[in-house]
């Protein structure tokens, strides 16, 4: 994954999730805080504009200068591309994917999150990222235990499908 691709995923999460924060480290050792907080170096909307422009050939892409991206604030990294947060006592899991929103929606029909969970999609066409938010419904302990399993399954399915899409047309036919 390129540095621009990593930055696109992180920027989409930070832009869409209230309270999310990015901590970027540059190759020169500078630390850049991205947040809606007044003490931040840049807000998520401005970073999003920079990242979108970086994907255009007529603008310089300086994303290679970002050596580390840490996602934090209201989001907790659960590993495997899954991030958690709690909103008014309700558990959520967030996943960012390069798959088109229709592709993720079709995949969700095959890997349904369950009755005690709600899934919603938030596409960001300019960044080329689709966000999936899975939310626990109710206060049953089984819905919370199923939330992590559903999120891990959805993240894995997205990753495998991204690999398949990226490899389409590569190698011998019928592989």
Residue pLDDT tens, the chain, 175 long: 899 999 999 999 999 999 999 999 999 999 999 999 999 999 999 999 999 999 888 998 999 999 999 999 999 999 999 999 999 889 999 999 999 999 999 988 877 666 678 899 999 999 999 999 999 886 654 556 788 988 999 999 999 999 998 888 676 655 4
Q: Measured between alpha carbons, how far is 128 from 144 in angstroms, rounded to an integer?
A: 30
Angle separating helix axes 44-54 and 3-16, nearest 10 degrees:
150
| Residue pair 143/116 in contact by the 8 Å Cβ criterion | yes
Nearest 5°: phi and psi at 74?
-75, -15
Q: Measured between alpha carbons, how far is 27 from 111 in angstroms, rounded to an integer?
A: 40
Q: Measured between alpha carbons, how far is 152 from 117 in angstroms, rounded to an integer?
A: 14
Tokens representing residue 98 in the block: 């390069």
| Model pLDDT, residue 28 | 97
How crowded is the C-beta side of 58, counted as CA atoms within 13 Å? 0
């Amino acid at each position: 994954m390129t540095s621009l691709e990593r930055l696109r995923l992180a920027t989409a999460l930070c832009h869409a999730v209230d309270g999310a924060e990015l901590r970027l480290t540059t190759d020169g050792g500078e630390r850049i805080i991205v947040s809606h907080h007044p003490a931040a170096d840049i807000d998520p909307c401005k970073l999003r504009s920079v990242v979108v422009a970086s994907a255009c050939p007529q603008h310089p892409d300086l994303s290679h200068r970002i050596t580390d991206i840490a996602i934090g604030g209201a989001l907790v990294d659960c590993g495997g591309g899954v991030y958690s947060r709690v909103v008014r006592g309700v558990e959520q899991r967030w996943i960012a994917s390069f798959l088109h929103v229709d592709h993720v929606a079709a995949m969700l029909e095959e890997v349904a999150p369950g009755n005690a969970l709600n899934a919603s999609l938030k596409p960001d066409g300019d960044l080329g990222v689709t966000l999936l938010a899975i939310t626990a419904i109710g206060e049953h302990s089984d819905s919370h235990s199923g939330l992590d399993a559903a999120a891990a399954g959805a993240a894995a399915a997205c990753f495998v499908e991204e690999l398949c899409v990226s490899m389409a047309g590569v190698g011998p036919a019928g592989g």
